[in-house]
Amino acid sequence: MMDNQPQLGNLDEDGYTQLDFSSRNITRPVLSKKGFYAISLRWRVIIAVTLGVLCVVILVTAAVLSTMASSSCPPSWITHENSCYLLSTPLTSWNKSRNHCLKLGSHLLKIDSSGELKFIEEQVSSQPYHSFWIGLSRHQDNGPWLWEDGSEVSPNLFQVTSTETQEKIAHNCVWIHESIFYDQLCNVSSLSICEKRLSK
């Protein structure tokens, strides 16, 4: 039969059992320096790999976003085939209109095809009270009509209707009103059409 009575050596002066909290033969785990560096190196590798993956994800995301941005038109520009068009421009002269388009990374409208011509005619016909400068002008009276890049306008696309009066003041710039192209004094204020090519 086991003796459940506390040992006398463990009783205090009032007769309560004393508890001995001092450590007896308790061994603490010792982590060697080698083990510490091994764990540290493992975490370094994990962190480095994680950061590397995050960097790749960020780079891919940035590339995708820049591709999307370059393959779409800015706000308020209209997309047609491979170009963007801006018709909401300030009322100003032909030269100032050209400079305005240049500041936007574009140029005054150049019509290259019958499909583009039809699209432009539809756009300007919806604004019958406005005329729009295009990138067509000439350096001298009766000279050839040239686009800003120096190329001549195709005679198969459209003809420029003369608005010159008997005063013989040179009308050396072109605007479109509804679906008709007119020569005009270059310093007259008008809206314009800016065009920029979509990046491929």
pTM, two decimals, is 0.63
Task: Give the Cα separation of 42 and 60 in Å (integer).
Answer: 27
Contact present, 185 and 137 (Cβ < 8 Å) = no
Other residues' Cβ atoms within 10 Å of the Cβ of residue 194:
26
For residue range 85-117, list pLDDT tens digits in order: 999 889 999 999 999 999 999 999 999 999 999
CA proximity to 136, closest of 126, 128, 124, 144: 144
Q: Classify 34 in phi/psi space as left (phi over 0), alpha (psi -120 to 50) or beta.
A: alpha
The pLDDT value recorded for residue 66 is 46
Domain ranges of the chain: 37-70, 78-197
Average pLDDT over residues 137-141: 88
**Was domain 78-197 assigned CATH 3.10.100.10?**
yes
Residue 160: enclosing H or E segment and its boundaries?
strand 160-161
37 pLDDT band (50/70/90 cuts)? low
